[in-house]
């Protein structure tokens, strides 16, 4: 448990409470920073506002990131899409894209180069999210496992 003092209020927070609250949220678009909760990316202020009931104007992104990091959640800065920096990596984009898509196996995603914007069990839900946020992206279903990627023609025969 972490006790956080935010905007003159004290909150006793646990990772379990944050995960439960975030699980009921539809992630908003990521600008610069994000927190990963159960494999999904959320803006830190969205999560902290939902958990505390505070208005987002009452605290900074830096404060939200610090509180969520103290709870043991992964807090990151969005990276600009670009070529892989590991020349020995195998696969398209040096394997970076495959690693990024692993948490989304079997799900529909809205993707722009180097980033998954949204994910859902249905393509309709992803399209609704894109429209709501006035964004455009490629929508597709990530294969359920790496073994099911490609076609029968791309599978090595014994």
The pLDDT score that the predictor gives to residue 84 is: 46
Strand partners, 41: 36
The pLDDT score that the predictor gives to residue 95 is: 72
User: pLDDT under 50 in the chain at which residues?
Assistant: 81-85, 87, 152-158
The pLDDT score that the predictor gives to residue 68 is: 96
108 and 121 in contact (C-beta within 8 Å)? Answer: yes
For the stretch 117-145, pLDDT in tens is 888 889 999 999 999 999 999 999 998 86
Residues 6+ apart with CB under 8 A from 97: 91, 114
């Amino acid at each position: 448990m972490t006790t956080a003092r935010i905007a003159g209020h004290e909150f006793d927070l646990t990772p379990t409470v944050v995960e439960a609250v975030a699980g009921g949220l539809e992630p908003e678009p990521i600008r610069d920073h994000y927190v990963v909760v159960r494999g999904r990316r959320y803006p830190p202020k969205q999560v902290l506002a939902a958990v505390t009931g505070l208005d987002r104007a009452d605290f900074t992104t830096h404060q939200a990131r610090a509180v969520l990091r103290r709870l043991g959640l992964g807090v990151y800065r969005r990276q600009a899409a670009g070529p892989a920096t590991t020349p020995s990596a195998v696969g398209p984009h040096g394997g970076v894209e495959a690693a990024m898509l692993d948490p989304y196996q079997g799900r529909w995603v809205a993707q722009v180069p180097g980033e998954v914007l949204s994910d859902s069990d249905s393509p309709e839900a992803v399209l609704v999210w894109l429209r709501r946020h006035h964004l455009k992206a490629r929508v597709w279903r990530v294969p359920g496992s790496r073994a099911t990627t490609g076609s029968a023609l791309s599978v090595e025969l014994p």
